[in-house]
Amino acid sequence: MSFVGFSLVAALLLVLDVGLGGMLSLGPIRPSLTLPFVVYIGLQRGPIAGTLFGAALGLGLDVLGAMPLGSTSFAYCVVGFACGKLWRSENAFRLLWPWSVFLVLGGVFVEAVSHYLVARGGGLEFTPLYVRSGLPTALYTAVLGVLWFLSPLHRVRSS
């Protein structure tokens, strides 16, 4: 898939995440539909593409969401870069390693950043807030990402 194709998928996921993400919520637990795509880009295309797509998607979420501008963008940049840097795309791409592991670690990091900012801004304690909604959100996102991996939608045809 080309850069334009990835950009169209990213824009579609951004609209779905902002528009329909609330319908998938379980109380305070709201999955991210864009984080699995950032992890996928980082694993398949490398650290530069992972960083750029992470920055763009995160900035889109920041503009359309309630987080401070740049916070989700920063977290997605780090996740996209780490996935691309820690994994070589010529290795086998399997469900457990690297997909599930990187998806859970990326979700834990993104939720830690966002919950830390919310806790600091609202005068709340970080740990109870993170344990009640941050970790379950990261796991919920990982479960949706694993379901996406098992579906035929993640396959990319080579041009």
State if pTM tops 0.75. yes
SS (H, E, C) 52-93: HHHHHHHHHHHHHCCCCCCHHHHHHHHHHHHHHHHCCCCCCC
- 75 and 109 Cβ atoms separated by less than 8 Å: yes
Nearest to 119 by CA among 67, 78, 77, 74: 67
Peptide bond between residue 28 and the one before it cis (omega within 30 degrees of 0): no
pLDDT digits (tens, 9 = 90+) for 35-84: 999 999 999 899 999 999 999 999 999 999 888 999 999 999 999 999 99
